[in-house]
Amino acid sequence: MRILVVEDEKKVASFIKRGLEEEKFAVDVAYDGEEGLYMAENTPYDLIIMDIMLPKKDGLAVIKDLRAKDNPSPVLCLTAKDKVEDIVTGLDSGSDDYLTKPFAFSELLARVRALLRRQKQDRGAELFFADLRLDPVSHKVWRSSVEIDLTAKEYALIEYFMRNPNQVLTRTMIAEHVWDYSFDSFTNIIDVYVNYLRKKIDKDYAKKLIHTVRGVGYVLKEES
């Protein structure tokens, strides 16, 4: 899953980005409201973490613009303001939750997971495809009851495949959902990671699940 952090304090942004990446999220960062709005309008994010006091365009104005354009991404507001009226204003602007600074990362993470679970598809539910099983809460993956040891990026990649089974995923689609905004699409890193996954998920099994669509991308499907 991919998250956008809009935060002008670079130390705070770096702290959040590092922590979320350790939890196997792909994370982009914007340092002002205008940049954040542009990124949110042009990239599908599973969640946006938005500071309120931002240069160029404040966070509440960004949220209002996104909601006016029917952007469905849930938004978690961050602010130093903790008065009830400030919280109400933030929620009325279209945010989904509110967290005051300073905060513990564990609380931020809990709120992130709660917001993701509220989306139409229950992100906390286990995913199944053929004899593959993925638990989004523990970030564990099994094939035929055998647990597979995956790196954070490998896990993010197989989760994206399992949320979109039998659908051809182009390299651009994979880059947008699994890697961050600065990803160089001209490298072969996606092919390298798909190859890593194949070695761990398909190598020891007669039934192969990850297939190449030549000239297009990849698809998770059972062989016919």
Tokens 């300073």 locate to 102
For strand 2-6 and strand 47-51, is the pairing parallel, antiparallel, or unpaired?
Answer: parallel
What pLDDT does 186 receive? 63
Mean pLDDT per segment of 10 residues, for the chain of length 224 residues?
A: 91 92 89 94 90 91 89 86 64 79 87 77 73 87 92 89 90 79 70 92 91 91 78
Give the Å distances, CA to CA, from 15 to 105, 186, 205, 212: 9, 29, 40, 37
What pLDDT does 38 receive? 94
pTM of the model: 0.58
What pLDDT does 151 receive? 87
C-alpha span between 92 and 185 (Å, rounded): 38
Q: Which stretches of the chain are DSSP H helices?
A: 10-22, 33-42, 59-68, 84-92, 105-118, 152-163, 171-178, 189-201
What pLDDT does 148 receive? 93
What pLDDT does 183 receive? 63
User: Could you give the domains of the chain?
Assistant: 2-118 (3.40.50.2300), 127-220 (1.10.10.10)
